[in-house]
Amino acid sequence: MAQHEDHMRHVAEGHAEEADMGVEHHHPSPWLYVKIGVLLTVITIVEVWAYYIPAWVNSWVFVPSLLIMSVVKFVIVVMYYMHLKFDHRLFRALFTGPLIIAVTTIIALLFLFGKIAVRG
């Protein structure tokens, strides 16, 4: 009876092919979401704090460090709160493929229009 309920739950969640294979999804506990929320809060505090340090704002490290922290927060939100980490690999590829193309295009345009320069 429990197998039938698991199968029906997988089918209802749109995972019919995995239901037929008997694959069980692991979803994080509420405590993990609290830890993720705290981590995102700490990263945001560091981002805001960095803005108030003149030496950091005036250095070349400022913008890349903010971009890296933003990317980390983005990845955490997408992987856990959007449950992409627990979805099929196809969905990850459909999300990350175009994202990589978009980021590469934006960086190329920044180089093209002189907003980023390679100093040699």
SS3 of the chain: helix, strand, coil, percent, to 5? 75, 0, 25
- The pLDDT mean for the chain works out to 79
The H or E element that residue 31 is part of is helix 30-51
Give 10's pLDDT tier (boundaries 50, 70, 90).
Answer: low
Quote the CA–CA distance of 35 and 17 in Å, as a whole number.
Answer: 32
pTM, rounded to two decimals: 0.62
Q: How many CB atoms lie within 10 A of CB 89?
A: 7
Answer for the pair 43, 73: CB distance below 8 angstroms, yes or no.
yes
Give me the pLDDT at residue 14, please.
54
Residue 5, token pair as written in the block: 């309920």
Q: Who has greater pLDDT, 45 or 117?
A: 45
Answer for the pair 86, 25: CB distance below 8 angstroms, yes or no.
yes
Backbone angle region of 72, left / alpha / beta, with phi > 0 → left and psi within -120 to 50 → alpha: alpha
Tens of pLDDT, residues 12-29: 555 555 544 555 567 778
Answer for the pair 86, 26: CB distance below 8 angstroms, yes or no.
yes
The total number of residues shown for the chain amounts to 120
Tens of pLDDT, residues 38-77: 999 999 999 999 999 999 888 888 888 888 898 899 888 8
